[in-house]
Structure 1
Amino acid sequence: MTQNIDFVYDFCSPNAFLAHKTLPELSARYDVKFTYVPVLLPIVFKATHNQSPFQAFSENRQKTAYLTHDLHRFARRRGLSFHMSPHFPMNTKFAMRGAHFARGKSWESKYISAVFDAIWVHGQKVDEIAVLIDILQENELPVRKIREAMSDPDVKQNLKDQTKANVRRGVFGVPSLFVGPEMFFGKNSLPNVEVELLSSNGV
């Protein structure tokens, strides 16, 4: 029986992008399905009194230089295309509303990959609606429906509620992965996710 893992994310996180790129390999290796759970990271941070490490260590050049190096090293060792966004940090609320609207639809994966790549491969400024619309059109996604969802009050509220529900679940940042009740935070916890999967499969 295929096991389900929740992947809690926000497009604004480079670590979430890099973790996202590794999931297909894990899915194939362990026969697991990843359910993508969009949240609004600023709400998570506010609720948990947390902040981005780049913000927390903004005055520590050695630390921020290392954090950037670690992102590129992770990508390079896995053969992934990655560029630190020139617009980081960015507001991804419109893109995340689109992600929430996309849940369960046949084009959800296509939408997620298109937006993640737009930010962290192509350096596009997705906090501008016009840029997002271009991305949707280029990837042959349902532009009108997604555009309407981005300003839909119910979509806005549901995404906020979902974010708060995940904070109650223990989320304090992204990416966060749940294997059953066990939470794993950050791209560097992926080896521990594998250990958990092996354990749960009796290996």
Structure 2
Amino acid sequence: MAPRFYYDYGSPNAYLAWRILPDVEARTGIAFERVPVLLGGIFKATGNQSPFYRYGPVKGRMEYEMLEMRRFMQHHRITDFQMNHNFPQNSLVMMRGAVAAAEMGHGEAYDRTCFEGMWRENLQMDDVDIFVPRLNKEGLPGTDILQKAQESGTKAKLVELTNGAVEKGIFGLPSFLIGDELFFGKDRIADAELEILRAKSSG
């Protein structure tokens, strides 16, 4: 089974992980399966919540979280990240759209459009009047993707993927599954990479 990357466009840390994932794939020669899930659904199922809410009342903790983000970006030479002024956003339609776009053969371009719209372009991506034109600008069939995202089968598939993530022990994003080994957080990507290399050498 290919290693898996679980993500939601509404997570800035998932975006940062997505940015460096191609480098990991190039070094290991192994491609990750991208698995869209709904972070809010994971939080509800596991009793977890966003660090921005969980750590907000803790003096100094959010400042440290932001410091860690800056260090990560500096280390990986990510210079174009913008904290979205409309954060947090409701990512439900975007994530249903991820399922739809993948089934339509547009998964990679859709991922890029949604992640960059959120974390490079500072767009209100949970507003369909912004979301659909942004997809169209990328050359994607925005209206068709939105229509398919609203179909019952697409909705059910996102629920299935989200529940499947929870069943595998995932409680937050980004998460990586290498075989049965779970790695949580953008800062665990290096460990996930080592696990891939270990599995390759032992296989």
Compute the TM-score of the two structures, normalised by the length of structure 1.
Answer: 0.94
Q: Is the 8 A contact 2:132 2:143 kept in 1?
A: no
- Residues paired across the two proteins, number: 201
> 1:1-203 to 2 correspondence within 5 Å?
4-80=2-78, 81-103=80-102, 105-202=104-201
Deviations 1:137-187, CA, capped at 9 Å, x for gaps: 110001222010222122112211221121111111111111111111100
RMSD: 1.4
| SS of corresponding position for 1:184 | strand
Structure 1 residue ranges without an equivalent (≥5) = none
Deviations 1:25-76, CA, capped at 9 Å, x for gaps: 1111111111111111111001101011111011124111111222122112
Q: Is the 8 A contact 1:6 1:179 kept in 2?
A: yes
The offset of 1:200, in angstroms, is 1.1
| SS of corresponding position for 2:170 | coil
- Equivalent-residue separation in structure 1 for 2:58 and 2:122 (angstroms): 25
Percent identical residues: 33
* Letter of the structure 2 residue corresponding to residue 120 of structure 1: W
Q: Which aligned runs of 4 or more in structure 1 are off by greater than 4 angstroms?
A: none
- Equivalent-residue separation in structure 2 for 1:139 and 1:166 (angstroms): 29
The offset of 1:195, in angstroms, is 1.5
